[in-house]
Amino acid sequence: MMDEVTLILYSTEGCHLCEDAEALLYAAQAQYSPLRWTVVDIADDDALFEQYGWLIPVLQAEGGTDELRWPFDKPALDGYLRDAGIVP
């Protein structure tokens, strides 16, 4: 069994694409039960808003540097999780 991993989902309130991304995460969590994420609202941080404003949703493994930017689907998410060493 894999260790619990925390991902960061850069998002903002009312973003329907961010809701779609989180739905993909919930589906992945059903497959990879230790998978956890934190939603970070970019509207609460000027630097994050400057960095991600039109790019959200963006997913990043906690402590990592690689990002998965929208649009992504289940195969892209699975690939990102494998490439980041989060899942086998």
Give pLDDT tens digits for 27-60.
999 998 788 999 999 999 999 999 999 999 999 9
In whole angstroms, what is the distance from residue 57 CA to residue 19 CA?
Answer: 9
Residue 45's CB is within 10 A of a number of other CB atoms, namely: 13
In whole angstroms, what is the distance from residue 74 CA to residue 85 CA?
Answer: 16
Domain count, the chain: 1
- The pLDDT tens digits of the residues spanning 51-61 come to 999 999 999 99
- Specify the pTM: 0.90
Q: Has residue 15 been placed in a domain?
A: yes
CATH number of the domain that 71 lies in? Answer: 3.40.30.10
Residue 23's CB is within 10 A of a number of other CB atoms, namely: 10
Token pair in block for residue 38 = 């934190």
- Residue 5's pLDDT band, with cuts at 50, 70 and 90, is low
Q: Has residue 17 been placed in a domain?
A: yes
